[in-house]
């Protein structure tokens, strides 16, 4: 099935995005080598230097990461391997649920493997890279991985529902409408509500896969953050803790939304901000500890991250109150 071409004005920053993408790709081989040959320093730099920046970029604009992500580049390169087919809405929904499951599988695995075992993390990164490449060979453009299966996508959507910055898209200067209804690159913040299947009533979003994910996310963050790195034999305890905290979070948020009849235009940014604040509450001190720096660094990082999220929430609620944005 041939995709329809939609012409989009080519951004003035196309060359800058290209340089950024190639720079990100060039960083991958040294990362993999470092994970094998110098795992201690590489893991510290990755988990406590690079990764904590990502949530902040999502609040600023998901375009920042989506424009340079090496997995997205590999997903595009996969298009060169053969003839692709369009991804159906049913297929997109199934892959999206798969991405949610991958998130809940891979993030707790940091406590079991990825925080301390560089070679295992390197092998996992390679496996996900091959998956992104293969999905690009099967489905048009980036519909299969970036816009469906990617385990980071749910967080991008939640935090990127009302970006602080308006940026030209980093990819796809023309559009083939490869993704059914809800491409974040095409409609940006509006993609979030489309993943929640609007039209289900005041709190119907709570029964959708993405709705359950976002309501559970604050508890998941707390559950993960209260854990310590443990051997693989403690997997049941790790997954049990994150699952239990996620279920408790969902139950509390669902009760509040239903009990106080909180409209989604208010509930969604509040949940995003709660998750973001909790993340940086724990991440700041964790970064200082692992970098073996003074406690003031952790407090400062905590304050900067939580301040950014608070600014995002104030602006988002003000915008939605003034303009009547959002559903519900």
Tens digit of pLDDT for each residue in 135-176?
999 998 888 899 999 999 999 999 999 999 988 776 776 666
Distance (Å) of CA 3 to CA 92, 176, 178: 16, 5, 7
- Alpha-carbon span 21 to 197, nearest angstrom: 32
Whether pLDDT at 266 is above 60:
yes
Whether pLDDT at 82 is above 90:
no
pLDDT at 181: 60
pLDDT at 324: 58
Helix axes 70-77, 14-37, angle to 10 degrees: 110
pLDDT at 328: 43
pLDDT grade for 327, boundaries at 50, 70 and 90: very low
Q: List pLDDT tens digits, range 91-147.
A: 988 999 999 999 999 999 999 999 999 999 999 999 999 999 999 999 988 888 999
Q: List pLDDT tens digits, range 274-326.
A: 999 999 999 999 999 888 877 788 899 999 999 999 999 999 999 887 775 54
- Alpha-carbon span 58 to 321, nearest angstrom: 22
Whether pLDDT at 224 is above 90:
yes
CA angle (96, 216, 181) in 5-degree steps:
30
Helix axes 89-106, 235-260, angle to 10 degrees: 120
pLDDT grade for 182, boundaries at 50, 70 and 90: low
């Amino acid at each position: 099935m041939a995709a329809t071409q939609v012409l989009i004005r080519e951004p003035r920053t196309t060359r800058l995005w290209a340089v950024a993408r190639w720079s990100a790709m060039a960083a991958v081989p040294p990362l993999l080598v470092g994970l094998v040959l110098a795992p201690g320093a590489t893991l510290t730099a990755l988990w406590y230097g690079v990764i904590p920046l990502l949530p902040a970029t999502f609040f600023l604009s998901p375009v920042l990461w989506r424009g340079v992500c090496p997995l997205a580049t590999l997903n595009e390169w996969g298009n060169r391997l053969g003839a692709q087919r369009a991804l159906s809405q049913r297929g997109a929904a199934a892959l999206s649920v798969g991405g949610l499951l991958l998130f809940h599988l891979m993030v707790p695995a940091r406590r079991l493997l990825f925080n301390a075992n560089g070679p295992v993390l390197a092998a996992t990164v390679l496996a996900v890279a091959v998956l992104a490449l293969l999905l690009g060979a099967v489905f048009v453009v980036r519909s299969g991985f970036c816009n469906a299966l990617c385990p980071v996508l749910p967080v991008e959507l939640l935090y990127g529902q009302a970006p602080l910055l308006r940026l030209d898209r980093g990819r796809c200067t023309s559009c083939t409408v490869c993704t059914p209804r809800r491409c974040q690159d095409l409609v940006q913040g509006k993609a979030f509500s489309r993943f929640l299947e609007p039209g289900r009533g005041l709190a119907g979003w709570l029964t959708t896969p993405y709705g359950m994910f976002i309501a559970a996310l604050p508890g998941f963050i707390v559950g993960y953050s209260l854990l310590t790195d443990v051997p693989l034999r403690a997997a049941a305890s790790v997954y049990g803790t994150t699952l239990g905290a996620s279920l408790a979070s969902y139950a509390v948020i669902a009760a509040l939304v239903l009990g106080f009849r909180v409209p989604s235009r208010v509930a969604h940014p509040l949940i995003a901000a709660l998750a973001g604040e909790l993340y940086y509450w724990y991440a700041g001190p964790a970064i200082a500890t692992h970098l073996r720096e003074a406690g003031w660094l952790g407090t400062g990082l905590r304050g900067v991250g939580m301040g950014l999220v608070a600014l995002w929430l104030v602006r988002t609620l003000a915008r939605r109150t003034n303009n009547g944005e959002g559903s519900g």
